[in-house]
């Protein structure tokens, strides 16, 4: 069945300024016009369209918060999550490309990079380089600081050895925020963040994973074999990588919440339209109270998820402590996305289980929300500590 352009469900305009509404609407139109026609092909091939990434840069999507002096849009974190939500409403893979670039990589550079590093990298992040965030390893997932990648200082360079797994944007990235330990005996106090360029000697990108969802988004292995990284490419301070990782991921979780809210919205819009078109027993299935109640519950949960995203992003921009809210946002939005997309498949019935209709892709894409950038159990652990008075 050919896909048709859908109109988005109304947004809570009271939560946005006029400028933010204009920004959001421009991203929404771009997603409809440029991204939606490519979604199915990218998903089937498992490859993100290169020209589309070029258009992301032209539109300013890859440097939303980067100051004008470095060639960026001088926008807000709130605008970044709006962009992630609108992209993900059409394609979660497009959403995560924008998300990792802005909420993880650019945020890490803006907060922790030296002025020399900012001058060297931020203009390229705003105009041509995709970024990737390399923390996870085979034996280091939720226990992120059990990482084994080592960094040894030799003269003016650090020499890195190890492997990273499940690195988003790795196939396209020109710059990697990569974590390694300079002293395995020091535990988390040995972890250090490095800015690794793709063409550094000893660095290579390994196999791309064949995934259930967000298939167009590249998720790859990184291989470091005596990879030489200049000393001045340490991000922040030696031994402070754990702090950079924790604080950057807190921001990233809001971005994943936005992605999942967008996925849920996209699936709901298809389901609501289909329910009004599909006829059984002489009338549209949307005339049956059972379907009406399902769509109403779905819409309510989506609205609650969006408000959590918006609130967390506003808190971040205001300089408030948002750690608890970010964890709650990621937890809840990923739950909503999984429920809503599953119900959307059911509303489509047998058609929903086929790849001829779009909702099965939303369902597949939703699952990652409970896994990456901190599993749901890790979010619950964080929330429990904070609401019960722990540290």
Catalytically annotated residues: 373
Diameter over CA atoms, the chain: 79
What Cα–Cα distance (Å) separates residue 153 from each residue in 158, 164, 226, 285, 348?
4, 20, 11, 67, 58
Query: 177 forms bridges with which residues in the sheet?
Result: 133, 195
Residue with tokens 């992605």: 259
């Amino acid at each position: 069945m050919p896909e048709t352009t859908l109109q988005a469900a109304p947004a809570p305009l009271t939560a946005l300024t006029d400028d933010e509404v204009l920004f959001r609407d421009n991203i929404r139109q771009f997603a409809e016009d440029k991204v939606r026609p490519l979604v199915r092909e990218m998903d089937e091939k498992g490859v993100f369209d290169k020209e589309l990434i070029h258009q992301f840069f032209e539109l300013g999507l890859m440097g939303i918060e980067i100051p004008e002096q470095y060639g960026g849009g001088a926008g807000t974190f709130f605008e970044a999550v709006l962009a992630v939500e609108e992209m993900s409403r059409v394609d979660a893979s497009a959403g995560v490309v924008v998300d990792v670039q802005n909420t993880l990589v650019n945020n890490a550079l803006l907060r922790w990079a030296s002025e020399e590093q900012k001058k060297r990298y931020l203009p390229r992040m705003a105009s041509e380089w995709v970024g990737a965030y390399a923390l996870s390893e085979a034996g280091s997932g939720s226990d992120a600081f059990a990482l084994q990648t080592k960094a040894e200082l030799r003269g003016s360079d650090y020499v890195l050895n190890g492997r990273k797994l499940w690195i988003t944007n790795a196939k396209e990235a020109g710059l990697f925020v990569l974590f390694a330990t300079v002293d395995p005996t020091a535990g988390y106090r040995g972890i250090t963040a490095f800015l690794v360029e793709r063409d550094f000697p000893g660095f290579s990108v390994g196999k791309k994973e064949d995934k259930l969802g967000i298939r167009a988004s590249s998720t790859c292995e990184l291989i470091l074999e005596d990879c030489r990284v200049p000393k001045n490419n340490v991000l922040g301070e030696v031994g402070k990588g754990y702090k950079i990782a924790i604080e950057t991921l807190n921001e990233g979780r809001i971005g994943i919440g936005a992605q999942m809210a967008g996925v849920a919205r996209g699936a709901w819009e298809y389901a609501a339209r289909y329910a009004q078109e599909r006829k059984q027993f002489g009338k549209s299935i949307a005339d049956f109270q059972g379907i009406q109640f399902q769509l109403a519950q779905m819409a309510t949960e989506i609205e609650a998820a969006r408000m959590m995203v918006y609130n967390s992003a506003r808190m971040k921009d205001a300089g408030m402590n948002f750690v608890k809210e970010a964890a709650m946002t990621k937890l809840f939005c990923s739950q909503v996305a999984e429920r809503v997309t599953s119900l959307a498949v059911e509303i489509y019935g047998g058609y929903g289980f086929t790849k001829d209709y779009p909702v099965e892709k939303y369902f597949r894409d939703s699952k990652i929300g409970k896994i990456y950038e901190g599993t749901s159990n890790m979010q619950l652990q964080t929330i429990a500590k904070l609401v019960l008075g722990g540290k």
